[in-house]
Structure 1
Amino acid sequence: MFLGIDLGTSGVKALLMDANQRVLATATGELDVSRPHPGWSEQDPADWIAATRRAVAGLDGHDLSGVEGIGLSGQMHGAVALDAADRVIRPAILWNDGRSEPQARRLDADPRFRAISGNVVFPGFTAPKLVWMAQEEPENFARVTKVLLPKDYLRLWLTGESLGDMSDAAGTAWFDNGARRWSGELLAASGMRDDQMPVLVEGNAPGGGLRAEVAAEWGMRPGTVVSGGAGDGAATAIGAGSVAEGQGFVSLGTSGVIFNPTARFLPNPESAVHAFCHALPGMWLQMGVILSASAGLQWLSAILGEKPAALTAALGPDLRAPGEVTFLPYLSGERTPHNDAAARGAFSGLSARTGRSDLTQAVLEGVAFAFADNLAALRASGSAPDSLLALGGGARSAYWLKAVATAIGMPLLLPESGDYGAAFGAARLGLMAATGADPAGVCTRPVIAAEILPDRVLAPAFAEKYAAFRAAYQPA
């Protein structure tokens, strides 16, 4: 058996699978986010450990003594600052925390960051958070001996070792993604040192062994292999079998992602495309990121007092021509392609006859057009997915999938029901680390239940509305 642990923002998910990759059980330990000031987003790393314990305890009825390997996945970019005794200095600053926007702008203005890391320095990345600490909390900053990413703080508790992996380190702005190593130059440019960074391994390589105390608590063998693991995007790709060029996916989660693996490092920071290391040796990835995908529908749902599924069901099964209302889904700013933290959502084209179905349709179309922006940015970066799996909670809406397929002009492949997310990918990484299995044999694609084709009749109308969507965005 193999255990995958995924540290998300809202909870820790544990997934147990057998040697044939059949999911035996899943359980979740919930988490809360602290927002002590506007734009801040923090969590206490001790809560991650407690949530992990609850999640693993939730796998009740399963004997864990046969677990051969553990894989880790986690929310990226978060900053866990530790002192010389590995004590947490302050609450972890999360990926969706915006306090370090001025520091990010300053680092991004240094041409070395884009040239070496291959990426824009976003406010959510790790490096500007530590620059913020140096400026605003100098006493805390002076105590920093090690900086870990969220999943790697869990590893520290599980194994006692300070280790990380390439795919997660890729999102710090301290990493040379082409060379797959920390950049001493970028660290020094943000006031950091090489010795403050963890040792790195590939995601499918061993990354420590389970401490005796944790092993006894969970009924496992001491020294059970813990894999290098992955950031949540790369782990989801491992779970979905997106491990070779062209095997992309589109994720309609709280945020939205178009993901494509590449055999070469293909940076394009000018389009705010994320170009990171994949969780497997010799592979990289490109991601276009929408900050509010399903979050946009959830926002409308809360305002209208009706569940998202009811709102989308009211549109009926057949795709409609784009409506009069245009929606910009920039409720929390936007990454790809605008790199604009100040961007905000907007409806335009409202009239006295606009109703809730019109607003719902506009939200679904707005996210679909944002995916079209993302796909165009990936193509401009030299990345061309052959096909796209449809993943995430929003993929349960057949209407939304039809809108996305028509907006991007590419079929979407809907997998059979199952768990292909980050926790499953983490379990696969645990399997490979423990057994040395070939990634190609482990990271297979799911069975496809349906192919969602673009609506060729409505394609011209969608193209016209997409042009209007593009014109509606005006940078501040």
Structure 2
Amino acid sequence: MYLGLDLGTSGVKAMLIDGDQRVVGVGHASLDVSRPHSGWSEQDPAHWVRATREAVASLKDTFGKELAAVKGIGLSGHMHGATLVDADDKVIRPCILWNDTRSWKEAAELDADPRFRAITGNIVFPGFTAPKLVWVERNEPQAFAKVAKVLLPKDYLRLWLSGEHLSEMSDSAGTSWLDTGKRQWSKDLLDATHLSEDQMPGLVEGTDVAGKLRAELAAEWGMGEDVVIAGGAGDNAASACGMGTVAEGQAFVSLGTSGVLFAANGFYLPKPESAVHAFCHALPATWHQMGVILSATDALNWHAGVTAMSAGDLAGELGDDLKAPGSVTFLPYLSGERTPHNDAQIRGAFIGLGHESSRVVLTQAVMEGVTFAIRDNLEALKSAGTAIDRVTAIGGGSRSRYWLASIATALGIPVDIPADGDFGAAFGAARLGLIAATGADPVAVCSTPETAATVEPVAALKDAYEAAYQRYRKVYPAIRGI
């Protein structure tokens, strides 16, 4: 048996699979986000430990015998979070999360140093880890002085699980400290933020063994000795491992809290000015590109909160048959935006509201706004040298056929729906745990699921969608700076 642990923004998911990669059981536990100030987003790492314990305990209640047979654990987690620990491995302050934009000024300053783009292959985005540490140094100098290690969220869980200070390439590529082409920390970039390599975790590949489960936890969970922990992956690379998106030409679109258009690459292909992320993949000697929008299902969830309805009910009001875009345009920039704008200050907007703008009209506009933001990502990936001719859909938003039809039509490519099953980050993490424990071939393990259905572009709405997208593109420059 193999266990995947996925630390998400809203909860921890624990997935148990067998040697044939069949899902045996799944456990969940919820997490909350603290937003003490505008643009801030934090979590207490102690809550991650509590949630992981709860998720695994729920598995043990039903699948105790199977849990006892676990030989490998894989880790996945939300990226970029600044988790700071002192010399005694005590957490210094709450973790500053991926969608926290307080360090936008510091990010711009680092990005103005040409070494960062040249070495990392990426813009220094406000959500990345390095500018957060500069912010801490300037605003919380006593905390900065105590920093012994800077850990990414899933790697704090590794510390708790194994006692090891280790990370892997896919997650570390999102810090703005990694030499992404060489797959190693950059002394120059660490020096630029007044840090040293001693304050960074050691680096391994996502398929490597990166620690063993502590005896106390093995006893608590009823496991045997020598349970290995894989290097794991950042959440998007872990999802790619779960979906089998590991070879050149494979791609997926993720409709989760954030939205991602992800393409696997057989070689390093940076183009930072496009605002496309060029990161290491979780498998050795592979890389990937992705465009990222900060609010995907989060935008629909916000609309659901305003209308006092569930997101599912709102989507259900639209039905399954795609409609031509209406007169209302929505910008989904509720937390700023990454690709293609790199703008932490921009906020969302409805444009074109009228007396006839009902709840259903606004729901349609919200979903189209996310769709057009993903189209922006497709154009950015094209400019960075990656062509995508079809994608597989994952994430909670992919349950809406209407949304998938909207994406297929706006992007002009088919969207595949995988066969029933959970092929997301927790499954990818479990696969990495299997590889680390058995030495199996990573490409053979990370196979693609069967396609249950394909959503084709609606040809009759191609022109209407193109016109609506061009209108959407005009709104951002018109309101920027207001």
Provide TM-score, normalisation by structure 1. 0.98
Secondary structure of 1:264's match? coil
| Residue 340 of structure 1 pairs with residue 343 of structure 2 | yes
Distance, in Å, in 2 between the alignment partners of 1:140 and 1:327 is 40
Shift of 1:192: 0.6
Q: Identify the residue that residue 7 of structure 1 maps to in structure 2.
A: 7
Distance, in Å, in 2 between the alignment partners of 1:111 and 1:322 is 41
| Residue 293 of structure 1 pairs with residue 296 of structure 2 | yes
Q: Identify the residue that residue 398 of structure 1 maps to in structure 2.
A: 401
Secondary structure of 2:474's match? helix
* Aligned equivalent of 1:181, options 184, 194, 197: 184
Distance, in Å, in 2 between the alignment partners of 1:34 and 1:469 is 32
Distance, in Å, in 1 between the alignment partners of 2:203 and 2:376 is 33
Amino acid in structure 1 at the alignment position of 2:22: R
Residues 112-123 of structure 1 correspond to what in structure 2 (within 5 A)? Answer: 112-123=115-126
Q: Identify the residue that residue 352 of structure 1 maps to in structure 2.
A: 355
Aligned partners of 1:246 and 1:387 also within 8 Å: no
Q: Identify the residue that residue 96 of structure 1 maps to in structure 2.
A: 99
Residue-by-residue CA offset, 1:183-215 (whole Å, 9 max, x unaligned)? 000000111101111110000111011111111
Shift of 1:220: 1.0
Aligned partners of 2:72 and 2:227 also within 8 Å: yes
Amino acid in structure 2 at the alignment position of 1:18: D
Q: Identify the residue that residue 273 of structure 1 maps to in structure 2.
A: 276
Distance, in Å, in 2 between the alignment partners of 1:314 and 1:54 is 36
Distance, in Å, in 2 between the alignment partners of 1:352 and 1:30 is 39
Residue-by-residue CA offset, 1:271-329 (whole Å, 9 max, x unaligned)? 21111000000110111011111111111122222222222222232211111111111
Q: Identify the residue that residue 225 of structure 2 maps to in structure 1.
A: 222
Distance, in Å, in 2 between the alignment partners of 1:328 and 1:360 is 12
Shift of 1:48: 1.1
Secondary structure of 2:460's match? coil
Secondary structure of 1:127's match? helix
Secondary structure of 1:360's match? helix
Q: Identify the residue that residue 129 of structure 2 maps to in structure 1.
A: 126
Aligned partners of 1:245 and 1:385 also within 8 Å: no
Shift of 1:344: 1.4
Aligned partners of 2:71 and 2:226 also within 8 Å: no
Secondary structure of 2:21's match? coil
Shift of 1:222: 2.6
Shift of 1:132: 1.1
Q: Identify the residue that residue 171 of structure 1 maps to in structure 2.
A: 174
Q: Identify the residue that residue 253 of structure 2 maps to in structure 1.
A: 250
1:360 to 1:426, Cα distance in 2 relative to 1, 3 A: same
Distance, in Å, in 1 between the alignment partners of 2:309 and 2:317 is 11
Identity %: 62
Q: Identify the residue that residue 21 of structure 2 maps to in structure 1.
A: 21
Count of matched residue positions in the alignment of Structure 1 and Structure 2: 476
Shift of 1:387: 2.3
Distance, in Å, in 1 between the alignment partners of 2:384 and 2:211 is 36
Distance, in Å, in 1 between the alignment partners of 2:94 and 2:299 is 28
Aligned partners of 1:275 and 1:284 also within 8 Å: yes
Distance, in Å, in 2 between the alignment partners of 1:137 and 1:96 is 20
Provide TM-score, normalisation by structure 2. 0.97
Q: Identify the residue that residue 155 of structure 1 maps to in structure 2.
A: 158
Shift of 1:367: 1.1
Q: Identify the residue that residue 146 of structure 1 maps to in structure 2.
A: 149
- Once structures 1 and 2 are overlaid, which stretch shifts more, 112-121 or 34-43? 34-43
| Residue 368 of structure 1 pairs with residue 371 of structure 2 | yes
Aligned partners of 1:387 and 1:413 also within 8 Å: yes
Amino acid in structure 2 at the alignment position of 1:448: T
Q: Identify the residue that residue 54 of structure 2 maps to in structure 1.
A: 54
Aligned partners of 1:30 and 1:51 also within 8 Å: yes
Shift of 1:36: 2.4
Aligned partners of 1:70 and 1:430 also within 8 Å: yes
Residue-by-residue CA offset, 1:245-267 (whole Å, 9 max, x unaligned)? 11100011111100000011111
Amino acid in structure 1 at the alignment position of 2:177: W
Distance, in Å, in 2 between the alignment partners of 1:47 and 1:311 is 31
Aligned partners of 1:250 and 1:388 also within 8 Å: yes
Shift of 1:461: 1.2
Shift of 1:269: 1.4
Shift of 1:219: 1.0
Secondary structure of 1:473's match? helix
Aligned partners of 1:248 and 1:388 also within 8 Å: yes
Shift of 1:361: 1.3
Amino acid in structure 2 at the alignment position of 1:41: S
Shift of 1:417: 1.9
1:386 to 1:458, Cα distance in 2 relative to 1, 3 A: closer
Shift of 1:32: 1.7
Secondary structure of 1:115's match? helix
- Once structures 1 and 2 are overlaid, which stretch shifts more, 81-90 or 163-172? 81-90
Amino acid in structure 1 at the alignment position of 2:207: N
Q: Identify the residue that residue 30 of structure 1 maps to in structure 2.
A: 30
Q: Identify the residue that residue 307 of structure 1 maps to in structure 2.
A: 310
Residue-by-residue CA offset, 1:157-207 (whole Å, 9 max, x unaligned)? 111111100001000000010111100000001111011111100001110
Distance, in Å, in 1 between the alignment partners of 2:253 and 2:171 is 20
Aligned partners of 2:99 and 2:294 also within 8 Å: no
Q: Identify the residue that residue 197 of structure 1 maps to in structure 2.
A: 200
Q: Identify the residue that residue 455 of structure 2 maps to in structure 1.
A: 452
Distance, in Å, in 2 between the alignment partners of 1:228 and 1:221 is 20
Residue-by-residue CA offset, 1:60-96 (whole Å, 9 max, x unaligned)? 2222221110000111111111111211111211111
Aligned partners of 2:435 and 2:442 also within 8 Å: yes
Tell me which stretches of 4 or more aligned residues in structure 1 moved more than 4 Å.
none
Amino acid in structure 2 at the alignment position of 1:390: A
Aligned partners of 1:210 and 1:223 also within 8 Å: yes
| Residue 425 of structure 1 pairs with residue 428 of structure 2 | yes
Distance, in Å, in 1 between the alignment partners of 2:254 and 2:298 is 12
Aligned partners of 1:247 and 1:386 also within 8 Å: no
Distance, in Å, in 2 between the alignment partners of 1:163 and 1:180 is 14
Q: Identify the residue that residue 209 of structure 2 maps to in structure 1.
A: 206
* Aligned equivalent of 1:316, options 315, 319, 327: 319
Distance, in Å, in 2 between the alignment partners of 1:323 and 1:97 is 32
Secondary structure of 2:368's match? helix
Aligned partners of 2:207 and 2:232 also within 8 Å: yes
- Once structures 1 and 2 are overlaid, which stretch shifts more, 316-325 or 102-111? 316-325
